[in-house]
Chain A
Amino acid sequence: MKKIIQYVRRKLSFRVSLWVVIFAAVIFVAALGFLFYQSREAIRQEAINHASQILDKTSLRVEGILNRVEVASDITKWLVQRHPDNADSMFVYSQGMLQNNPDFYNCSIAFEPYYFKNKGRYFSAYTKHDGDSIRTIQGGNDIYQYFYMDWYLMPMLSERPCWTEPYMDYDTHTNTSEMVTSYCQLIKDRKGRKIGVINTSLSLNWLSQTISNVKPYPHSYSIMIGRGGIFFVHPDTSMISRQSIFTQTIEHPDTAMSALGHAMQRGEEGMKRMHIDGNDCYVFYKPLGKTGCSMAIVCPEKDIFGGFDRVRRAVIAIVCAGLLLMLYVFIRIITRELSPLHQLAKGAETIASGQFDAQLPDFRRTDEIGQLTRSFAGMQQSLVKYIEELKDTTAQKASIDRDIRIASAIQMGMLPDKFPTRADRDDVQIYASLTPAKDVGGDLFDFYFRGEKLFFCIGDVSGKGVPASLFMAVTRAVFRTVSARDSMPDDIVTAMNQTMVGMNKTHMFVTLFVGVLDLSTGHLFYCNAGHDAPLLIGDGVGVLPCDNNIPVGFMSTWKYTLQEAQIFTGTTIFLFTDGLTEAMDINKAQFQMQRVGDVAINALADGQQEPHELIRRMTESVRLFVGGAEQSDDLTMMAIQYIK
């Protein structure tokens, strides 16, 4: 089952075809269902009408004959009643009845015991056809005591004319027997006394044949039952006169059959749908005049709907076959229509594997597949172009990276790398570190000895990266150039400022601290141009007071001020850029001056205020603080300890 579901999921053609077929099937079912139902109803109604008509026709024919009997009997009765005393004329009347009606079976005019005193106990004028002739006799005797016969007693007791239940009439004369039914009428004399009965019989042969021949459908049959339910017409001749419609229901109760029997006995007419011998049947029934008999036509549903059912089965088979065929054909068609997608997919896979210029199939179609193909092709071209650009850019970047690394090396080369320690000099020891935020940075520091003086500076170009590094290079170069001539920091800064304003079109500036330390006296001249005031770590930690001059590089007219201070032995001047104080951790909290001071205090307390050690501590402290955050600005520190 899972495999089937997977298959269905995978194949678009199958799914679409299935939907189409399902939808078509629903429509067919609805339409055909409605059609079949209506047709079936129409056929059923037609069958009912047909059977009813036949029943009516047959019934009319039968009633016609019965009517004749009744009328003939009436006439004879009238005759008898006019002359009830003439015994011999009874033979004439009885004979006359049969002569005028050749299709009647027999006729008896029978009288009460000893009615004709001279004729004895029995007197019955009996006439019967005997081949071509008519036989008339007196029919009553000790063996045939007609007083107890149905045909005599019924009209006597009910005082109404009536038809008897069919019975076998044995003719001892010819030794034959025939099934007959009799119409019997009471004869009264002028005083209203019951004197006898006229009995006219009709052979049932004709009736049986007429009814048996009623066969509207190949497998339908007719039955006739009498008042007591006994079959007198039945396709199974062994049942005639021997079984009634209720017989089988005694041992095998069948409410439908019993209901039918009772309905027919009551002389009702109608139709019942029943289950007989394993088949569903329609039974149409109608009484036969006043005889008390009733006939019924049994039509199996199979006959009625036989043709219809065959057609229906055929149509359903055709529809099913058609739908299956439709499914198959649709699957094929859709698969065929979608085959370009396969090719496109394959082409895309080829491209994805690296062959960007693989040729996509061209279907020359204007429909959705064609659009898709063109989109694919467009995408392919963009892809190719983009890949090329990417290659170029990567190459460029690689080359730029190379250049930057070279620039970095150059820049680092510009910074002094030899730091004098106690071992090298006896008057001062210096250490500095510069960690750019990017490969190249905008911070700078510089120092050199000229005579007995130490010239040093620290600066921070606004910005970072290559632009700042270039400006930094310029600044350093200008510092060296200017300080070679001027010895006072304020002059140096002023000169630097004027020079750099002139060559500064990019609005860059650099904060700068320039200091000149007289190594013999420890006297420091300095000028601060917008830079962070350095710390003095000697007798405690303090900040070197600095004037607020503007940074160098943007206002040529600024007058930079000169400051001086006395540096005592062992004191370390700690210079730094704002990369130190503004070092940020991942929460963007800054290191701040406070912490710088704290590290300095600790170092001093530990007696570790020597430049190398101090700077190491600062570096470590910042590193710990920053944690994993990216370095935001160049970090530069320089420590100068006067040890003379």
Chain B
Amino acid sequence: MERIRHWIFIAILLVSKSAAAQDDVIVFTPQWIAQAQFAGYYVAETKGFYREAGVKVRIEHPSATQPAVNRLLSGECQATTLQLCQALEIADSNKPLVNILQTSMNNAMVIVSARKKDPLKQKGAKVGIWSVGFGQLAICMSTKDHLDYQWVRFAQNVNLFVSGVLDATLAMSYNEYYQLVQAGIEMTDKNVYRFCDHGYNVQEDGVYMNRDYYEKHRDQACRFAQASRKGWEWAVAHPEEALDIVMRYVDKERVATNRVMQRLMLKEVLRLQVDRESKKREFRLRPDMVQLASRLMKENGMLSREVTYDELIDNR
């Protein structure tokens, strides 16, 4: 009897430990398929920064069936990257989030016009927009500047624009922009409109967790964020090696891209991390940008209220 109790006790201990161990793993789902946009996290995993920080992290990429946001909201992952505007929308719908690490300090969205036209002169043009939910600022801008674009939602690539059925398309300066260059499209100052240069410089990518999960695992989350930031900083110092690491993830996930594209993406993503005013990598959410985005989106009916800066941060 003593013996059996002894063994049961050990078994419970093991189970609870493994349960705790289960709790310890943070499943991190980047916003999209494996690419240099998430280099810092790959570096942190490969270089063992997470291990050094004592956090167990598993990086799982989203699939067509389960986009990243869904996975976060359903609990399939504990952390994900979101654009600020997305985060505002989610927060607005009473699903509280916490920004544990802000990587992007600048807006990366651009409008590229076809046939060498000027985007600002293309009133009523058919403009491609992501169907997954980016581009809020663009919609605001179209309304505000009375351009009345016809938004055409596309699934994932630049083929529509390249085939000529669109007059213009939204693009990320680190992603679709280079895909267009790779497709032989000529980019000039005239046919490329950069939101960051026209008063819409709202930062984008950050790592978010559900608030309740965050408050239960604050310490872990902070370590996770720190290690991730370390990963990014390492990438800044060793861009070519970071690129090697990214390519390994790319190849594993069988993503249809190449080293040139990833190098350009990494360079641009790292550049966007430098704050315009302070010229430093701040790794923080800026209240003024949160306010700007909130206001614009409320004006355009995307938010029911202005979501505040405090709602997105850990205010302990």
* A and B from one complex: yes
Residues of A within 8 A of B (CB): 143-145, 147-150, 153-154, 157-158, 162, 164-165, 167-168, 170, 227-230, 239, 241-248, 250-251, 258, 261-262, 265, 292
Whether B260 pairs with A247 at a CB distance below 8 angstroms is yes
A-B contact count (CB 8 A): 91
State which of B165, B256, B261 has its C-beta within 8 Å of the C-beta of A153: B165
Tell me whether B65 is interfacial, beta carbon within 8 Å. yes
Whether A145 pairs with B184 at a CB distance below 8 angstroms is no
Whether A242 pairs with B154 at a CB distance below 8 angstroms is no
Tell me whether B155 is interfacial, beta carbon within 8 Å. yes
Interface string of B133-170 (1 = CB under 8 A from A): 00000000000000000001111011110111110000
State which of B155, B164, B257 has its C-beta within 8 Å of the C-beta of A242: B257
State which of B65, B155, B184, B258 has its C-beta within 8 Å of the C-beta of A149: B155
- Chain B residue numbers with a CB within 8 Å of A143 are 64-65
Residue ID in chain B nearest A177 by CB atoms: B254
- Interface of chain A, helix or strand or loop or mixed? mixed
Whether B184 pairs with A229 at a CB distance below 8 angstroms is yes
Smallest beta-carbon distance B29→chain A, Å = 17
Tell me whether B182 is interfacial, beta carbon within 8 Å. yes
Cα distance A143–B131 in the bound complex, in angstroms = 12
State which of B131, B155, B165, B184 has its C-beta within 8 Å of the C-beta of A246: B184
State the interface size on chain B (CB cutoff 8 A). 30
Interface string of B254-271 (1 = CB under 8 A from A): 001110110110000000
The 8 closest A-B pairs by CB, nearest first: A228-B183, A148-B155, A157-B165, A148-B131, A228-B162, A165-B159, A158-B165, A243-B258
Smallest beta-carbon distance A263→chain B, Å = 10
Whether A247 pairs with B261 at a CB distance below 8 angstroms is yes
Whether A162 pairs with B184 at a CB distance below 8 angstroms is no
Residues of B within 8 A of A (CB): 64-65, 126, 131, 152-155, 157-160, 162-166, 178-179, 181-184, 256-258, 260-261, 263-264
| Given known A148-B155, A168-B256, contact A244–B160 (CB-CB < 8 A) | no
- Chain A residue numbers with a CB within 8 Å of B126 are 157
State which of B162, B164, B181 has its C-beta within 8 Å of the C-beta of A250: B181
Whether B183 pairs with A292 at a CB distance below 8 angstroms is no
Cα distance A639–B124 in the bound complex, in angstroms = 155
| Given known A227-B162, A243-B260, contact A150–B157 (CB-CB < 8 A) | yes
| Given known A143-B64, A149-B155, A250-B264, contact A244–B163 (CB-CB < 8 A) | no
| Given known A153-B154, A246-B181, A250-B181, contact A227–B159 (CB-CB < 8 A) | yes
Smallest beta-carbon distance A45→chain B, Å = 31
- Chain A residue numbers with a CB within 8 Å of B154 are 148, 150, 153
Whether B183 pairs with A244 at a CB distance below 8 angstroms is yes
- Chain B residue numbers with a CB within 8 Å of A165 are 157, 159, 162-163
Cα distance A230–B261 in the bound complex, in angstroms = 13
Residue ID in chain A nearest B261 by CB atoms: A247
Cα distance A157–B260 in the bound complex, in angstroms = 32
Smallest beta-carbon distance B259→chain A, Å = 9
Residue ID in chain A nearest B180 by CB atoms: A228
